[in-house]
Structure 1
Amino acid sequence: MSTSTKMTFSRRGFIRTSSLASGGLLIGFNLFTACSPKAKPPVDISQLDFNDFNAFIKIADNGAVTIFSPNPEIGQGVKTSMPMLIAEELDVAWDNVYVKQGILDTNNYTRQVAGGSQSIRFGWEPLRQTGATARQMLVNAAAAKWGVDPSECTTKEGVITNEKGETLGYGDVVKEAAQLEVPENVSLKDPKDFTIIKSDVKNVDIDKIITGQSLFGLDYKKEGMVYASSLRPPAFGQKLESFDDSETRKISGVVDVVKFGNKIAVLATDTWSAMKGKNALKAVWTEDTKLESTAEHDKILTDLLNGSKVETLRKDGDIKKAFAAADKIVERTYHSPFLPHNCMEPMNFFADVTEDKIHLVGPIQTPERTANDVAELLNRDVKQIHLEMTRMGGGFGRRLYGDFVLEAAEISNLAKKPVKLVFSREDDMMDGIYRPAIKYRIKAAIKDGEITGYHLKEASINSNMYGLIPNFFPAGAIENYQVDVANYQSNITTGAWRAPYTNFLAFAEQSFFDELAEAMEVDRVQMRLDLLQKVKGTTDDRIQYSPERMEEVIHVVVDKSGWGKKEAGTFQGFAAYYCHNTHVAEVADVQIENGMPVVKKVTCVVDCGIVVNPLGALNQVEGGIIDGIGHAMYGDFGFEEGKPLANNFDRYRLIRMKEIPAIETYFIQNNLSPTGLGEPALPPAGAAIANAFKAATGNRLTEQPFMKNPDLLKMPEKEIIG
């Protein structure tokens, strides 16, 4: 059974031709909404270089299919899963599909962004329509060749069959298909008929990754390019007064030293010489703005929580009346530090700025915005920019910001050379875009055994409304509910960090719900389920989560984890959270070893709609949980006089292999459209282990990282079972 779906792109925008020098069919498509009115085929398509023009499916005479993947690949798997959607509806054998990374192409693509776990969600219908339209064109061509109605034809793995049993391969009809009208209505497969979607598909780049072939930005080379390493202010709030580069210029391999803005770039024939030359620079820095410290930030955030200067994001009922009438009030304050991103691949980018063209190549999550920023910086037409995306060795939000791309472009423009800018690990940590330090204060009113008031207040360094989602759970479940934010503007650069808005808020709220349950002397899981009942049937369209879907993941994780049924000596912690359009519930199992709690297992249940690639999905969930546990336990970062207190992994603690627990993951099976997956498993992980630690030790953790206060993790003299 299939479902008829109206195409979202026009006939005119659906480009197709058979005049390839190699033969075959080239089909253009828009991936998300509609082909841009500006989209036009190249003047001489027979000379088309598929590495430079990519908004197409290419079907060769031999039936091989090339699909160009437009979105940046940061390890979230879209270079595999997005083409899977097209191939499913095109009805070809996945073994016959080749995937190539697309370039930035604003004429033919929209939302070429890796961020927010939204690529599959936005591409779900359009990508499938693209494949289905191409398949229908091929079927129509075969039907015309046989003189039969297209409805009498079926397809399977790139072969068209009519009712007489005659067959034609896609490659046999590509030329004829290119001459036909583009159909306006196509039929999409029923999910029960999927053969590629919902099946395990290995990463399309995996063979190249494990054999060390060129994929990442650091791998990119171009003849004649030089390497650049930049000296930046050692502290936020400093400016360059003067510098001496005489010793730098003596170093073998150094070819030039260029001052730009508040920085100095050393250009050399290799990265080692460039970095060695940078270290030989003698620079004088003076204070430009206030040099801030972590202790000062802590006081500022506390003052903001105690102050009345706030912005109210949501206000239901009257919390003042609720607190005034309460039988009991529970209040807690939670604190998280700044965090760097620490991508495995440090920031890097290639730039070649000439009079006619700006050629950019490298790892970036926001290619379109970055191209516009480069054009503005250099006062050039953005049409002169050609930006190619490489695979990224991690992003986590850091590569949403193109500061390193602008730096490479500015250096190339000044040096009049093609430049490959490479950060050292120290550069990466000392000049980052950090997750901001945040404090949350949560206060709840209890009256007659019910939660009658809930006040959530955020104080953040820089990012007003950055860390707070006012319409997530428990919004809508509590009559008197208010969310306020306040922020302090710092000169320390901050921005998105994996699962922005929710990576720390989930820990704060889910820990607080456990504390509320204790104060009310009720079951902590049932308390959450009771609150969800109050949201069912709501007409409040501000509510973003589904109480029914959240309820289901909770019931399943309780069952799969053996919640409350573990043997003595195993302590469990529960958390459930919604973010990036996905519902997740997690249970952590903790045991005491050498007087300290150790996370032994995490059971996770996820409702992300249809799981496009289960193998890739499992990797995302497990990676998110490990990341969430690691940073909740160990991630600590701060500043003294504007200078980061850690510049490498000898002083910045990450989770180690031996500390990773067993992880069991279950996906809710349904046929709902896919939602986000790269980030949603991270936020509840810290809360689940914190609640398990409370069960084991009796101590409530309110500050991350947990190892900052190891005494709170020690087993008390008398074992406490929660």
Structure 2
Amino acid sequence: MKNTLSPSFSRRSFIKTSALAGGGMLIGFNLFQACKPEAKPPVDISQLNFNDFNAFIKIADNGMVTIFSPNPEIGQGVKTSMPMIIAEELDVSWDNVHVVQGALDTKNFTRQVAGGSQSIRFGWESLRQTGATARQMLINAAAAKWGVDASSCKTENGTIINANGDKLSYGEVVKEAAALEVPENVTLKDPKDFNIIGTDASNVDIDKIITGKPLFGLDYKEEGMAYAVVLRPPAFGKKLESYDDAATKAISGVQDVVRFGDKVAVLAKDTWTAMKGKKALEATWTSDSKLENTEAHDKILTDLLNGKEFKTMRADGDVKKAFAAADQVIERTYESPFLPHNCMEPMNFFADVTEEKVRLVGPIQTPAGTARRVAELLEREAEDVSVEMTRMGGGFGRRLYGDFALEAAEISKLAKRPVKVVYSREDDMTAGIYRPSIKYRISASVKDGKITGYHLKEASINSNMYGLIPNFFPAGAIENYQVDVAAYDSKITTGAWRAPYTNFLSFAEQSFFDELAEILEVDRIKLRLDLLQKVKGTTDERIQYSPERLENVIKVAVEKSGWGNAKEGVYQGFSAYYCHNTHVAEVAEVELENDVPVVKKVTCIVDCGIVVNPLGAKNQIEGGVIDGVGHAMYGDLSFKDGEPQSKNFDKYRLIRINETPIVETHFIENGLSPTGLGEPTLPPAGAAVANAIKAAKGIRLYKQPFIKHMKAKAPLG
């Protein structure tokens, strides 16, 4: 069935409305170099005569199409998938499409942000409408040229065809089409007629990535630019009292030393020289009377859980009454450490601050917000600040904050020259911003073998805005249900980390439900499905998940994983979760090697609606699962006197390539609009692994990382 839209807006407003797709398309690439390093485009695009259709599309007079990507590309693949959506509705050959990175443009684009797994979801209808509207304008121009009714014409791979079989390429009518009024009615394709959406497309930058072409922030350079490396306080709570830069300035190639706040920047001709200069600085630091430690945090969070200063996020029924009347109350506490982001590409940014303008270039997830903060810092007008985006070697939430861009801007202003701030790995791991340490306490009341009450408490380091989601499962499934949060304000800077809110909560809740099933002596799958039955047909608009869709992924996971029928020596663990608008179920398979649990395979069922680019989607799913497994098993960051105790990969444990499980992915095909994909497969992974480890070793885990706490319970190997 075709979908007809009646936008009824002017050409100018169409540009603005289509920009709602600003959930993003991303970064520049040359499709014709994607397969063969020496392949060349069929034409020199720079010499083509282009006509603009809107903020997203340019069509040349030879029919070549350029699609602008306004949002940041952090490896989530939207630079490929979002242009695919436009190209589908525009009805052009994907081989004739070029994608170009757009700069920050708040007039034509909205939501130029990479975060929350929302780009495709927010952009779906607007991107389709963008392509379909341009296609209709081209049809209208061709119909006028032929003197026929536009409804008698169709398109195919960049060509308009009339009822007589006459053909005109898009390039032959593009000038006339660009001058037309925006059509009142636009017909979108029926999904069954998609030719591009739903097919595998390679990452549009893949050739440049693997051959080392300059794409990333670390690649960016300009003549006359200085490299800046920054000395920052060695611990949270320390301040710079004084410094001696004599030895630093004596190093050949060091160009300047600049203090700003409690930091000192060394500017040099190259990064290595700047790093040597930083190492030669002699600094004196003053400390707060009380610097924070991981052991102290443990007690602080426990005291918060035991205290009464909570904010209630949701309260259904009467939890206290249900608990008082219960035959049994089960209570468990789950603990997680701080985690750094550890993007493959450390933080970096270029800034050139002059009297006339402020020019910023680099990898950033929030270009508009960063531009605004830089303008405020420098006391400049917002229009003075421009941001050009490079591809990012990972973001995971760390590049939402832009503190490194502010550093670059401030140093450039003080030094009166263009600079590029570059972090070392040690800088990257010790400067913040971290996933906060959190404790969850979950309690359930049982009466006559049934769950009658559920109380979830969160105690978090810093703001609990990164904690609980009160309207996710099991909200609505249990009559007496309450969610409370409390936080301790720390000097340690924290923020969003991949799958914020849910990356640890999913482990806590799904582990708890597994243990409840054991205590109640009921099947763990049936327990979840029975709870979901109570949510079906709900009129509670606060409930964000679909019980039907969550039920379906659970049932498919049972089928596809061979749940309960694993061969001898293979132990399975189950988890199902909803976040970022997507429903996921996972089954982990663990084997014991020298009595140490090893995750061999994860079967992952994903309901994310229509899959635009299956190849890219599988990459996201597999990456999320492996990330979830790795951090649940090994990730740990502690503090002593305000100082991070892991500063590089010699002490911080990441999952290794020989430890990565096989990830078997299955999509639910339901024809519904796309939802998030970059993050939803990470949260369920930890619980699936923990539940499999319980099956393998009889150890019920309540703390991450698992390897550390299993060793504390019993020797491994």
Question: What 5-or-longer segments of structure 1 have no aligned partner?
Answer: 16-27, 36-45, 718-722
- Listed one character per residue, the Cα deviations across residues 190-247 of structure 1 (whole Å, up to 9, x for unaligned) are 1001011111111111111111111000011111110000000000000000000000
CA distance in 2 between partners of 1:34 and 1:509 (Å): 34
SS in 1 for 2:19: coil
Counterparts of residues 23-172 of structure 1 (less than 5 Å)? 30-32=18-20, 55-172=55-172
CA drift at 1:3: 1.5
What's the counterpart of residue 264 of structure 2? 264
**2:346 maps to 1:358:** no
What's the counterpart of residue 379 of structure 2? 379
Is 2:604–2:666's contact at 8 Å kept on the other side of the alignment? yes
CA drift at 1:182: 1.4
Paired residue type of 1:360: L
Is 1:8–1:33's contact at 8 Å kept on the other side of the alignment? no
Counterparts of residues 213-612 of structure 1 (less than 5 Å)? 213-288=213-288, 290-612=290-612
Pair 1:8–1:486, CA change in 2 (3 A): farther
- Listed one character per residue, the Cα deviations across residues 333-387 of structure 1 (whole Å, up to 9, x for unaligned) are 0000000000000000000000011000000000000000000000000101110
CA distance in 2 between partners of 1:338 and 1:705 (Å): 11
- Listed one character per residue, the Cα deviations across residues 598-640 of structure 1 (whole Å, up to 9, x for unaligned) are 1111000000000011000000000000000000000000100
RMSD of Structure 2 on Structure 1 (CA): 2.0
What's the counterpart of residue 690 of structure 1? 690
Is 2:48–2:60's contact at 8 Å kept on the other side of the alignment? no
What's the counterpart of residue 614 of structure 1? 614
Is 1:58–1:66's contact at 8 Å kept on the other side of the alignment? yes
**2:11 maps to 1:11:** yes
Is 1:595–1:715's contact at 8 Å kept on the other side of the alignment? no
Pair 1:364–1:648, CA change in 2 (3 A): same
Pair 1:53–1:462, CA change in 2 (3 A): farther
CA distance in 1 between partners of 2:534 and 2:632 (Å): 31
SS in 1 for 2:508: helix
Counterparts of residues 156-235 of structure 1 (less than 5 Å)? 156-235=156-235
Is 1:697–1:715's contact at 8 Å kept on the other side of the alignment? no
CA drift at 1:12: 2.9
CA distance in 1 between partners of 2:134 and 2:645 (Å): 56
Paired residue type of 1:59: I
CA distance in 1 between partners of 2:171 and 2:408 (Å): 44
Paired residue type of 2:18: N
CA distance in 2 between partners of 1:310 and 1:9 (Å): 48
CA distance in 2 between partners of 1:616 and 1:354 (Å): 41
Pair 1:303–1:8, CA change in 2 (3 A): farther
- Listed one character per residue, the Cα deviations across residues 384-403 of structure 1 (whole Å, up to 9, x for unaligned) are 11100000000000000010
What's the counterpart of residue 20 of structure 1? none
SS in 2 for 1:396: coil
CA distance in 1 between partners of 2:234 and 2:226 (Å): 25
SS in 2 for 1:709: helix
CA distance in 1 between partners of 2:504 and 2:197 (Å): 33
Pair 1:267–1:130, CA change in 2 (3 A): same
What's the counterpart of residue 680 of structure 1? 680
CA distance in 2 between partners of 1:53 and 1:143 (Å): 18
Paired residue type of 1:276: K
Paired residue type of 2:134: A
- Listed one character per residue, the Cα deviations across residues 87-135 of structure 1 (whole Å, up to 9, x for unaligned) are 0000000000000111110001110000000000000000110000100
CA drift at 1:289: 6.1
CA drift at 1:184: 2.2
- TM-score computed with the length of structure 2 as normaliser: 0.95
What's the counterpart of residue 31 of structure 2? none
CA distance in 2 between partners of 1:355 and 1:638 (Å): 44
What's the counterpart of residue 701 of structure 2? 701
- Listed one character per residue, the Cα deviations across residues 477-527 of structure 1 (whole Å, up to 9, x for unaligned) are 000000000100000000000000000000000000001001100000100
CA distance in 1 between partners of 2:156 and 2:707 (Å): 56
What's the counterpart of residue 640 of structure 2? 640
Select between 563-572 and 635-644 the one with higher mean Cα deviation: 563-572
CA distance in 1 between partners of 2:8 and 2:269 (Å): 50
CA drift at 1:671: 0.9
CA drift at 1:419: 0.3
Is 1:610–1:674's contact at 8 Å kept on the other side of the alignment? yes
Paired residue type of 2:454: Y
Pair 1:571–1:308, CA change in 2 (3 A): same
CA distance in 2 between partners of 1:111 and 1:262 (Å): 33
Matched positions, count: 694
Paired residue type of 1:487: A
CA drift at 1:175: 1.1
CA drift at 1:657: 0.4
What's the counterpart of residue 19 of structure 1? none
- Listed one character per residue, the Cα deviations across residues 421-456 of structure 1 (whole Å, up to 9, x for unaligned) are 000000000101000000000000011111000000
CA drift at 1:712: 6.5
CA distance in 1 between partners of 2:581 and 2:56 (Å): 29
CA distance in 2 between partners of 1:165 and 1:715 (Å): 77
SS in 2 for 1:133: helix
CA distance in 1 between partners of 2:151 and 2:53 (Å): 34
SS in 1 for 2:465: coil
CA distance in 1 between partners of 2:313 and 2:668 (Å): 32
SS in 2 for 1:13: helix
CA drift at 1:687: 0.3
Pair 1:377–1:68, CA change in 2 (3 A): same
CA distance in 1 between partners of 2:713 and 2:375 (Å): 52
CA distance in 2 between partners of 1:240 and 1:489 (Å): 22
What's the counterpart of residue 720 of structure 1? none
SS in 1 for 2:598: strand
SS in 1 for 2:516: helix
Question: What 5-or-longer segments of structure 2 have no aligned partner?
Answer: 24-45
CA drift at 1:710: 3.1
Pair 1:572–1:274, CA change in 2 (3 A): same
CA distance in 1 between partners of 2:123 and 2:341 (Å): 27
CA distance in 1 between partners of 2:435 and 2:48 (Å): 43
Paired residue type of 1:348: N
SS in 2 for 1:646: coil
Is 2:327–2:448's contact at 8 Å kept on the other side of the alignment? yes
Paired residue type of 1:162: N
Select between 316-325 and 542-551 the one with higher mean Cα deviation: 316-325
Paired residue type of 1:518: E
Is 1:9–1:34's contact at 8 Å kept on the other side of the alignment? no
Paired residue type of 1:31: A
- Listed one character per residue, the Cα deviations across residues 682-710 of structure 1 (whole Å, up to 9, x for unaligned) are 00000000000001111100000011123
CA distance in 2 between partners of 1:83 and 1:277 (Å): 45
What's the counterpart of residue 660 of structure 1? 660
CA drift at 1:53: 13
Paired residue type of 1:397: G
CA distance in 1 between partners of 2:462 and 2:380 (Å): 31
CA drift at 1:49: 12
Is 2:587–2:688's contact at 8 Å kept on the other side of the alignment? yes
CA drift at 1:11: 2.4
CA drift at 1:466: 1.8
CA drift at 1:33: 7.1
Paired residue type of 1:473: F
Is 2:17–2:126's contact at 8 Å kept on the other side of the alignment? no
Is 2:227–2:419's contact at 8 Å kept on the other side of the alignment? yes
CA drift at 1:7: 2.5
Pair 1:340–1:104, CA change in 2 (3 A): same
